[in-house]
Chain A
């Protein structure tokens, strides 16, 4: 198990390294001059040249990359072009909003998606089941962006004053205000995933209910409630748990759109803002931070799957196919 963990982590390092080269090269290809952006259009040439030298933009790209990589090893992601703050500090400042959003969204997914899936499986092929199945398919089909815009329309125009729909308040400042501002974006972030989880829970639950041991328990006269809550649910939820882990990674991507709509100062918003003003160190910092988090989550999920399902650990498809 430990060996598997170590080998997965070791194999992720070169992938992330290549990813950083790709991100670095891509951003340097982008049109637009960061020196011009930071000094203004009227700046005299010698000032621009000085700024370029400060930003190391006059060096060959591979030298710039190696310098960046050297700093990274020491835990330094460089400094922002615009406000000269350390990129790590900028990311740390924006991270809480994104995490808070993702955690609340994940709670929505679990609290709504899983019970709907269980209910659907228990009422298989009856009206309730059919309604839930149609509902989840419809839910999956509405992207975050659309949900977010409609929520702003509903709470910003049609029924203003019920819930705030813009901005963010840190949890440490004011718990109530902070949570109030989290509901809507979290729903927008969670909406498409809820249907996905409900569907998966349903099919997983149906499969477990079809196993012999459930039939045996029924034959022995174990009460239906005990069978469902004690025997079936735990086994049925195993694949759901791993998918939830994977979805946590996808919430990172969805947050780019949702944070933009709701004006939340999180990582996703930071990516867009920094790219718009050509603040390369911040953009690369965010991209690589998110990529590292994404890869780490996937590794944890894979390992977790191995813990839950021992067949994976012993030879059968260890790692990837």
Chain B
């Protein structure tokens, strides 16, 4: 996880690089500091749980997730822990497979958004006021001019109709959903990266590197990136919660992961058809999983912000822009 790479404390004596100051040399590691508070300990355990669920979940499935293994719409029992769906498939097995898909899509989407958003934001910030800057920011405005749940269903609906093949490369439907969600989340990271770069550019160490004739690429990657990482990592935690919510929504609408496959969203889609027939077990388990995932990562984001980005707590304008991004 990205949070852990930040957490590494540099060796005493340090590498001598400027960004060492962010790492609070000598203090206990970030992970340990987080674990010492009940709120963040809960979120760390939750993160661990979901990572484990994504890694080993499908191997624990007692049945084939697509196989017709029981009566249709059977309530949870010893044989089928989460009951069966209208076709008689084992919901627990589908849930384990679906959790993996949902979680991977969430992480994939945020990874795309983080990488692309940070790059674009840093370029815009580095040459603030230039044409590159205004081009990038305008493009992001275009993405931002649609509400999330208006743009994503249409984009994933178009992309996910069929597997896309580029040459020998087969891109599966799930990957396309992740990319679509990632693209829509790019502005969130780009804006933060740009604002942070603007702030850092005024710092003495950047002036120093520049006066030594440091190359732009080195300034961006070696000097700026480590120093603007904290707010981006914080935002990544919130974005993960958002990405999973969005995946659930678009798959529910029928535009995301396609029906034979399972994800939390498709499970809810199937559940919605059986609600008034009393199939509560179909809706309860994926719902709990989504809510818990969102809660855990929102909590993690809050705690990371307190630890990594103390400025954010005190300034009013930050709170405003944060709630806009929600």
Main secondary structure of the interface of A (DSSP, over half): helix
Given contacts A15-B142, A18-B142, contact A143 B294 (CB under 8 A): yes
* A46 located at the interface, meaning its Cβ lies under 8 Å from any Cβ of chain B in the complex: no
Identify B150's interface contact among A26, A144, A287, CB under 8 A: A287
Given contacts A143-B248, A290-B146, contact A26 B161 (CB under 8 A): no
Looking at the assembled complex, report how far the CB atom of B180 sits from the nearest CB atom of chain A, in whole angstroms.
Answer: 10
Could you tell me the distance between the alpha carbons of A156 and B319 in the complex, rounded to whole angstroms?
Answer: 39
Identify A157's interface contact among B153, B253, B280, B292, CB under 8 A: B280
Given contacts A137-B295, A152-B275, A243-B320, contact A16 B147 (CB under 8 A): no
Q: Check if A290 sits within 8 Å of B295, measured CB to CB.
A: no
A256: chain B residues within 8 A (beta carbon): 149-150, 153, 249, 253
B161: chain A residues within 8 A (beta carbon): 30-32
Could you tell me the distance between the alpha carbons of A19 and B139 in the complex, rounded to whole angstroms?
Answer: 9
Of all chain A residues, the one with the shortest Cβ separation from B313 is A203
Q: Check if A26 sits within 8 Å of B276, measured CB to CB.
A: no
Q: Check if A18 sits within 8 Å of B158, measured CB to CB.
A: no
Identify A15's interface contact among B145, B245, B271, CB under 8 A: B145
Q: Check if B253 sits within 8 Å of A260, measured CB to CB.
A: yes
| Chain B, range 275-302, C-beta contacts under 8 Å to A | 275-278, 280, 283, 287, 290-292, 294-295, 298-299, 302
A137: chain B residues within 8 A (beta carbon): 295, 298-299, 302
B290: chain A residues within 8 A (beta carbon): 143, 146
Looking at the assembled complex, report how far the CB atom of B199 sits from the nearest CB atom of chain A, in whole angstroms.
Answer: 10
Q: Check if A31 sits within 8 Å of B153, measured CB to CB.
A: no
A295: chain B residues within 8 A (beta carbon): 145
Q: Check if A246 sits within 8 Å of B324, measured CB to CB.
A: yes
B294: chain A residues within 8 A (beta carbon): 140-143
Could you tell me the distance between the alpha carbons of A249 and B138 in the complex, rounded to whole angstroms?
Answer: 19
* B95 located at the interface, meaning its Cβ lies under 8 Å from any Cβ of chain A in the complex: no
Q: Check if B142 sits within 8 Å of A203, measured CB to CB.
A: no
* A261 located at the interface, meaning its Cβ lies under 8 Å from any Cβ of chain B in the complex: yes
Could you tell me the distance between the alpha carbons of A153 and B280 in the complex, rounded to whole angstroms?
Answer: 7
B241: chain A residues within 8 A (beta carbon): 141
Chain A window 23-55, contacts with chain B (Cβ cutoff 8 Å), 1 for yes, 0 for no: 100110111100000000000000000000000
| Chain B, range 145-159, C-beta contacts under 8 Å to A | 145-151, 153-155, 157-158
Of all chain B residues, the one with the shortest Cβ separation from A312 is B317
Q: Check if B154 sits within 8 Å of A287, measured CB to CB.
A: yes
Of all chain B residues, the one with the shortest Cβ separation from A242 is B320
* B5 located at the interface, meaning its Cβ lies under 8 Å from any Cβ of chain A in the complex: no
* B222 located at the interface, meaning its Cβ lies under 8 Å from any Cβ of chain A in the complex: no
Q: Check if A27 sits within 8 Å of B323, measured CB to CB.
A: no
Looking at the assembled complex, report how far the CB atom of B42 sits from the nearest CB atom of chain A, in whole angstroms.
Answer: 11
Q: Check if A294 sits within 8 Å of B320, measured CB to CB.
A: no
* Extra inter-chain contacts (5) besides given A15-B141, A196-B326, A290-B147, CB under 8 Å: A16-B145, A137-B299, A145-B249, A157-B276, A239-B316
Binding site for A on B (CB under 8 A): 137-139, 141-142, 145-151, 153-155, 157-158, 161-162, 195, 198, 241, 245, 248-249, 252-255, 268, 271-272, 275-278, 280, 283, 287, 290-292, 294-295, 298-299, 302, 316, 319-320, 323-324, 326
Q: List the 8 shortest-distance A-B pairs measured between CB atoms, nearest first.
A: A253-B147, A141-B295, A253-B149, A141-B294, A30-B158, A156-B276, A146-B287, A143-B245
